[in-house]
Amino acid sequence: MTDVHIGDAVRRVEDQRFLTGQGNYIDDINMAGQARAAVLRSPHGHARINGIDTSRAEALDGVLLVITGRQWLAFGMGTLPTKTGVRKGRNDTDINEPPRHCMAIDTARYLGEPVAFVVAETQVIANNALELIDVDFEPLEAVSDAVKALAPGAPRLWDDIPNNLCIDFELGDLEGTEKAFAEADHVITLDLENNRVTAVPIETRGCVGSYDAATETYTLYNATQNVHANRDMFAENVLGIDKQKLHHVAPDVGGGFGAKNSAYPEPPMVLYAAKKLGRPVKWINTRSDSFLGDTHGRGQTSRVQIAINNDGTFLALRTETVGGIGAYCWTIGPFTPTGGSARTQGGPYTFPAMYYRGRAVFTNTAPMDPYRGAGRPEATFQTERIIEYACRKLGLDPVETRRKNLMPPEALPYMSPMGMDIDCGDFPLLFERTLEMAAPDTFAARADRATKAGRLFGFAIAPYLECTGGAPKEYAGVQFKEDGAVTLAVGSHSTGMGHETVLPQLLAARLGIDFDRIQFTQADTDATPIGGGHGGSRGMEVGGNAVAQAADEIIVKATPLAAHLLQSDAAKVTFADGSFSDATSGASVSMTEVIEASMDQEPGFLDTGATFERGVISIPNGCHAATVEVDPDTGAIQITGYWVMDDFGTVINPLLADGQVMGGIVQGIGQALTENIIYDDSGQLITGSLMDYGLPRADVVPNMVIDYYEGAPTKKNPLGVKGAGEAGCVGALPAVVNAVLDALKGHGVVHMDMPLTPEKVWRAIRDKGAHDPEALMRDAC
């Protein structure tokens, strides 16, 4: 029997198959008789499609099917609607939501937008057929930059949408903020950019679809993060079928980080073709096409302003953001630059007044949808950058100033001006501990050593405040089998985070049963009636609590049987540490024994399906700190130290939590230093391959020291967990960028936009920090 507890660093069960090459990813799935698909994508950022001639492609031996946008429309296929939570803008205006079809209809609005779909006997034939499709494109003027897209006279993506504006959103207290701005000793303004990036999970997307004519049921294996929600979209919105007629399963998924969250256009085309051809159809994306058609993230231009007094007291924060969301409203695309980036403005500091305005803007670029953090990294970056900048401008000490303004624990619970219910935590404690870990007393010596080697030493600390998100409901189903196996099916979804280990760990610990007996299922629309998939750091917060709730219900059901076995009375029997006991008689019986005994009851006696619904989202928080060394001759940056204290509430498995934090930090480091999605003015992607898009590699990332504060479990959910999946990304951007700027302070450098390429650093030094703080948003505010 394997005993596991909450808080144990249980090693993962899924590792065995991944380490030996036995994982079952989408490209490993092959169905008898399958045909292969390929997608013709727009080579233009914006172009009218005057006609498509598919005859040469259709004539190619082995080509089975060619579909164009016009045909797709004629089949009666529906559109993919947005599920954004923000639908109302300022002055009660409605969101502009143009129709999003799976294929471009008459106009292609971004490079890589599907224009035609081919199915053939082999991949080679399908790919060759793409080259035989003659499309009469008439290139149109494009606009890829969101600020430019808002300007009067900018090319329009949609005839009926003025200024390319999807939604103009606001939150907070404008009047209070303006008043504080009028009264403060200083108002400091900084325009900054949160560069556009993309998730690049190492496995590209792909799917295999089939259709069973006898039952009129489709089956879709899909590298997705979200089987239930996307099933509903594909079935009900696009194909116009009952959702019961689509069985949607995700096999092992090779990373997602948000980029496999959305309802993408290819799976419905695959399903249509599978039915039409009466044989399974497989489509696997290439990396090159992933850069064009996978969702991107961040990509915001903002003006951030702080009202601050001479003594460093913060009075108010105001942020105006413009975010390009691509040509359509994707699954939650319009949410990120609006509500998603508003909520955690101000971080863990006391800001008596705050105001946020975010405009989501249509651009001729790939779609924007969640990327790890979706709004919180942006908000934290904006907050921490304006604080650091203000300190530099006013000669205030950045550590002291932050310390002074952190919300004290006595102030909690606190409803932030952005509507966040900040219930618990100890921000000053985490701040001090992080600082201690970084050992500031060694900085002078480290700076000295760096100087001797011709480098500049820098340090920054960045507290962060997070919030969870994603679908609020989750289901966990537990069944007990005759042979002793216990099955656990959960609707949340791991694309690498380790649910297959940690959720059984939780169930085993809660029930006191053998961990090895639990068989785990996820990401299958037949296995759970509902499922919220993956996103918003919800796995443990919602999925974990569903498992805990199922365990608690099982205990309740088992108690009368235990009492019977103990020849006692249910009211007298208590459950603890895996056993039911009767305090009066001292007798006890284990859960395992009760489960065995339950096999003599009616079938499924203890089987339980529990649905947990989150009330209020929880508030993970913590603090990052980094040291860097900069080579002033070349501008090269090396991160030399990295420390984190996180408050995720109760930590169920610290090993897995570490993994989430490290992975998130390195994605943040990537964005801060090397990753950048760049489009030119015609909507061509300049950084569309791993030769130009710089993913972090092993030799550029530092060793990270991570610790947890578990003194403030949240009462918002029974497990007391706060969500761990995105926090690494949230804290890393300001920690790294501010540390580099600290290193350059002797050269007068006060600001640089990400990514901090060596050339930018070198130029900033050469130009002695010359910088226009209002350059980016002058035309947009």
Partner 1 sequence: MEDFSYQKPKTVDDAREAYSASADGLFLAGGQTILPVMKLGLAAPSAVIDLGGIEGLRAILVTDSVVSIGAMATHATVAASGDVRQAIPALSDLAGMIGDPQVRTRGTIGGSIANNDPAADYPAAVLALNATITTDKRQIAADDFFVAMFETALEEGEIITNVEFPVADAAAYAKFANPASRFALAGVFVARTGNSVRVAVTGAGTCVFRVADMEAALAKDFSATALDGITVATENLNTDIHASAEYRGHLIGVMAKRAVEAAQTKGGGK
Partner 2 sequence: MPKISLTVNNKPVTQDVEGRTLLVELIREGLGLTGTHIGCDTSQCGACVVHVNGQPVKSCTMLAVQADGAEVLTVEGVSPDSGLNPIQQALHEHHGLQCGFCTPGMVMTATALLKNNPDPSEADVRHGLEGNLCRCTGYQNIVEAIMAAAKTMRS
Pick the closest to residue 107 from 73, 132, 84 (CA basis).
Answer: 73
**Cα radius of gyration rounded to whole Å, the chain:** 27
Shortest reach from residue 494's CB to ligand FES, in Å: 11
Shortest reach from residue 659's CB to ligand FES, in Å: 9
Pick the closest to residue 336 from 115, 520, 82, 594 (CA basis).
Answer: 82
Tell me which residues touch partner 2 (CB under 8 A).
Answer: 11-12, 14-23, 25, 27-28, 199-204, 252-255, 257, 286-288, 495-498, 655-656, 658-659, 662-667, 689-691, 695-699, 701, 703-704, 728
| Residues 543, 549: Cα–Cα separation, whole Å | 10
Residue 236 vs residues 80, 354, 431: alpha-carbon distances, Å: 10, 41, 49
Give the largest Cα separation in the chain, rounded: 87
Q: Pick from 472, 694, 748, 769: which binds partner 1 (CB under 8 A)?
A: 694
CB atoms within 10 A of CB 99: 13
Residue 143 vs residues 109, 154, 679: alpha-carbon distances, Å: 10, 7, 9
CB atoms within 10 A of CB 569: 12
Look at residue 687 and give the partner it binds from partner 2, partner 1, ligand FES, none, a contact being a CB closer than 5 to 8 Å depending on partner kind: partner 1
Closer to partner 2 by CB, 497 or 509: give it: 497
Interaxial angle between packed helices 398-405 and 427-438, expressed in degrees from 0 to 180 and rounded to the nearest 10? 160
Q: Pick from 237, 313, 592, 757: which binds partner 1 (CB under 8 A)?
A: 757
C-alpha 380, offset from chain centre: 15
Shortest reach from residue 671's CB to partner 1, in Å: 13
Residue span 175-204 as binding mask against ligand FES, x where in contact by CB under 6 A, dash where not: ---------------------------x--
Look at residue 659 and give the partner it binds from partner 1, partner 2, ligand FES, none, a contact being a CB closer than 5 to 8 Å depending on partner kind: partner 2
Residue 24 vs residues 13, 203, 464: alpha-carbon distances, Å: 15, 12, 37
- Per 3-state DSSP, the chain is made up of helix, strand and coil in percentages (nearest 5) of 35, 25, 40
Residue span 610-649 as binding mask against partner 1, x where in contact by CB under 8 A, dash where not: -----------------------xx-x-------------
Q: Give 190's strand partners.
A: 304
Contact between 691 and ligand FES per CB under 6 A: no
* Phi/psi-derived region of residue 163, left when phi > 0, alpha when psi is between -120 and 50, beta in every other case: left
Q: Can you list the positions of beta strands (E) in 186-250? A: 186-198, 206-212, 217-222, 246-249
Closer to partner 2 by CB, 226 or 363: give it: 226
Contact between 544 and ligand FES per CB under 6 A: no
Closer to partner 2 by CB, 114 or 688: give it: 688
Q: Pick from 583, 690, 770, 775: which binds partner 1 (CB under 8 A)?
A: 690
Look at residue 14 and give the partner it binds from partner 1, partner 2, ligand FES, none, a contact being a CB closer than 5 to 8 Å depending on partner kind: partner 2
Closer to partner 1 by CB, 40 or 594: give it: 40
Q: Pick from 673, 706, 721, 736: which binds partner 1 (CB under 8 A)?
A: 673
Shortest reach from residue 755's CB to partner 1, in Å: 9
Contact between 255 and ligand FES per CB under 6 A: yes
Contact between 682 and partner 1 per CB under 8 A: no
CB atoms within 10 A of CB 162: 10
Closer to partner 2 by CB, 211 or 693: give it: 693
Look at residue 694 and give the partner it binds from ligand FES, partner 1, partner 2, none, a contact being a CB closer than 5 to 8 Å depending on partner kind: partner 1
Contact between 496 and ligand FES per CB under 6 A: yes
Residue span 390-419 as binding mask against ligand FES, x where in contact by CB under 6 A, dash where not: ------------------------------
Burial 545-560 (b: 16+ CB within 10 A, else e): bbbbbbbbbbbebbbe
Look at residue 763 and give the partner it binds from partner 2, ligand FES, partner 1, none, a contact being a CB closer than 5 to 8 Å depending on partner kind: partner 1
Residue 646 vs residues 5, 157, 258, 672: alpha-carbon distances, Å: 21, 43, 22, 21
Contact between 698 and ligand FES per CB under 6 A: no
> Which strands sit side by side in the sheet containing 588-590, from one edge to the other?
573-576, 579-582, 588-590
Contact between 762 and partner 1 per CB under 8 A: yes
Shortest reach from residue 496's CB to ligand FES, in Å: 5
Look at residue 25 and give the partner it binds from partner 2, partner 1, ligand FES, none, a contact being a CB closer than 5 to 8 Å depending on partner kind: partner 2
Residue 229 vs residues 81, 224, 355, 373, 476: alpha-carbon distances, Å: 12, 10, 33, 20, 17
Q: Give 255's strand partners.
A: none
Q: Which two tokens stand for residue 368?
A: 């924007």
Contacting positions for partner 1 (CB under 8 A): 288, 633-634, 636, 673-674, 676, 678, 686-687, 690-695, 700, 757-759, 762-763
Contacting positions for ligand FES (CB under 6 A): 202, 255, 496
